[in-house]
């Protein structure tokens, strides 16, 4: 059986197919079909020839096999330091082999590559910083994922994930109507405590356009309300688009390149349509990477930049606090030991380490902030990045991976962890659930709302 009904080389493009694959509990049938999935070596080799550019070729050639990348990889460290977990080995023995064999590899080998690409690398890019030649194996694994996806060798959840993006243009089944209705709902629910608060949808020429993660309207709409409260208090002229509001990209985790481009284009189209001066997104790492860092290249923008300056939420927050648009009541600052998780996707990969620390300086009483070790761009992945959190088949491996972050947190002695990234937030929640070390964790939004010094005229009128 070359192509399965559920597991095949065709992306999920219809709601029908999406529901069909989703109804296959735990992907049992999907993975069974994968055992029989034929590798189209010619197509694979043709794709490599077309897409593997000089950087990757050079990286393969100049790798000195020195092994200096080994210790940089938290998965190597946390998995007994076995040679199979050395980044250079991981990529040479997978992508390297496929290239060497000009795509003539077996089904079994492709499945092995899938395991390595999604359970032994979170694309955190830490190895690239430690390699003397600057070889970034995270980037290479991202590329390998694309090749595997094109041949249908992708974990069940991520096949569905990119299918969601293709069908709903969101990582979950949230339609435009659902989204707009959620904005109305949250404005209604919040305006009593915040008189005058609005969530303006599709407002032209706003100063800033806000995008988010489908998880928020789907399960945690209070996050949308919190964003609205902070924009409201800051007096920001802001808007959300009715289309192109979803900033995340499970398709990036899946290696569905065509869909990656479509996701980002959809957001850029919203920018072109509404003409905001700037854009910002929610506290999410990979969404920022997809839309702001990688996106311009996917969509072929010649300047390598989004259509308007697209800042991360932490940049907006830091700016609002710095300029006094948002004021913190010093009495309400955090007065307990607190640590900060650095999201790989915007700290290591974009350099926003000082921005998050500037925010910390406003909201934490001096002396209570404890850095993790290592920290900033050297900090480790939360343990669940790159799609790792969401893949049932690799849950055990993911739980092992969480131990690095757990040890780092335990070493700080803090009971409160600030995690301004959805993926990190989820991973830290899961690590508490798995290992019960007695910590709390939070995004920035709710913390800051709790310590705002709100101008008198914004408070609800006295009740009596």
For residues 404-463, which are near other proteins according to CB under 8 A?
425-426, 429-430, 432-433, 440-442, 450, 463
For residues 142-171, which are near other proteins according to CB under 8 A?
157, 160-161, 164, 171
Question: In this chain, which of 31, 109, 130, 185 binds other proteins, going by CB under 8 A?
Answer: 185
CB of 407 to other proteins, least distance (A): 21
> What CA–CA distance (Å, rounded) separates 344 from 358?
18
Tokens 């974990």 correspond to 155
Nearer to other proteins, 50 or 461 (CB): 461
Question: In this chain, which of 218, 301, 322, 376 binds other proteins, going by CB under 8 A?
Answer: 218
> What CA–CA distance (Å, rounded) separates 288 from 117?
22
Helices vs strands, H then E, count in the chain: 23, 7
Measured in degrees and rounded to the nearest 5, phi and psi for residue 56 equal -65, -40
Nearer to other proteins, 313 or 441 (CB): 441
Q: Is 121 helix (H, G, I), strand (E, B) or coil?
A: coil
DSSP assignment of 422-442 equals HHHHHHHHHHHHHH----EEE
Q: Is 121 in the site for other proteins (CB under 8 A)?
A: no
Q: Is 10 in the site for other proteins (CB under 8 A)?
A: no
For residues 360-399, which are near other proteins according to CB under 8 A?
389-392
Q: Is 173 in the site for other proteins (CB under 8 A)?
A: yes
Question: In this chain, which of 16, 108, 189, 354 binds other proteins, going by CB under 8 A?
Answer: 189
> What CA–CA distance (Å, rounded) separates 99 from 200?
50
> What CA–CA distance (Å, rounded) separates 292 from 315?
13
Question: In this chain, which of 65, 100, 104, 219 binds other proteins, going by CB under 8 A?
Answer: 219
Nearer to other proteins, 70 or 252 (CB): 252
Element (H, E) at 210: strand 208-211
Q: Are 49 and 40 in contact (CB under 8 A)?
A: no
Question: In this chain, which of 10, 25, 54, 323 binds other proteins, going by CB under 8 A?
Answer: 25
Q: What's the half-sphere exposure (Cβ side, CA atoms, 13 Å) at 374?
A: 13
Question: Candidates 20-28, 35-43, 119-127, 261-269 — which segment interacts with other proteins by CB under 8 A?
Answer: 20-28
CB of 423 to other proteins, least distance (A): 11
């Amino acid at each position: 059986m070359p192509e399965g009904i559920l597991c095949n080389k065709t992306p999920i493009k219809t709601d029908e197919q999406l529901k069909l694959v989703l109804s296959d509990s735990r992907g049992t049938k999907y993975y069974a079909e994968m055992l029989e999935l034929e590798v189209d070596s010619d197509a694979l080799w043709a794709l490599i020839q077309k897409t593997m550019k000089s950087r990757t070729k050079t990286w393969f050639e100049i790798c000195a096999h020195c092994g200096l990348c080994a210790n940089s990889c938290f998965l190597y460290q946390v998995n007994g330091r076995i040679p199979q977990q050395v980044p250079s080995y991981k990529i040479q023995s997978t992508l390297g082999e496929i290239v060497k064999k000009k795509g003539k590899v077996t089904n079994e080998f492709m499945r092995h590559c899938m395991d390595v690409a999604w359970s032994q690398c979170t694309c955190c890019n830490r190895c690239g910083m430690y390699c003397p030649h600057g070889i970034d194996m995270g980037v290479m694994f991202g590329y390998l994922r694309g090749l595997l996806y094109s041949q249908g060798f992708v974990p069940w959840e991520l096949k569905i994930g990119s299918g969601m993006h293709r069908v709903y243009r969101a990582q979950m089944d949230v339609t435009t109507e659902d989204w707009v209705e959620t904005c109305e709902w949250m404005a209604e629910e919040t305006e009593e405590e915040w008189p005058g608060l609005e969530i303006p949808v599709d407002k032209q020429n706003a100063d800033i356009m806000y995008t988010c993660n489908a998880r928020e309207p789907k399960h945690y709409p209070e996050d949308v309300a919190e964003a609205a409260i902070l924009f409201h208090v800051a007096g920001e002229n802001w808007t959300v688009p009715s289309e192109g509001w979803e900033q995340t990209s499970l398709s990036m985790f899946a290696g569905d390149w065509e869909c990656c481009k479509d996701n980002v284009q959809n957001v850029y189209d919203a920018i072109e349509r509404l003409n905001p001066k700037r854009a910002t997104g929610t506290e999410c790492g990979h969404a920022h990477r997809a839309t702001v860092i990688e996106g311009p290249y996917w969509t072929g923008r010649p300047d390598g930049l989004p259509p308007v300056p697209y800042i991360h939420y932490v940049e907006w927050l830091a700016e609002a606090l710095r300029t006094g648009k948002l004021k913190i009541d010093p009495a309400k600052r955090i007065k307990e030991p607190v640590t900060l998780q650095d999201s790989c996707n915007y700290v290591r990969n974009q350099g926003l380490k000082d921005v998050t620390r500037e925010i910390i300086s406003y909201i934490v009483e001096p002396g209570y902030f404890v850095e993790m070790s290592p920290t900033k761009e050297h900090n480790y992945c939360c343990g669940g990045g790159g799609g790792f959190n969401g893949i049932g088949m690799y849950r055990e491996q993911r739980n092992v991976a969480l131990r690095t972050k757990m040890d780092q947190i335990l070493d700080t002695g803090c009971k409160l962890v600030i995690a301004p990234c959805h993926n990190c937030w989820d991973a830290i929640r899961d690590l508490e659930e798995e290992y019960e070390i007695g910590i709390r964790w939070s995004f920035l939004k709710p913390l800051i709302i709790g310590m705002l010094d709100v101008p008198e005229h914004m408070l609800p009128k006295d009740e009596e």
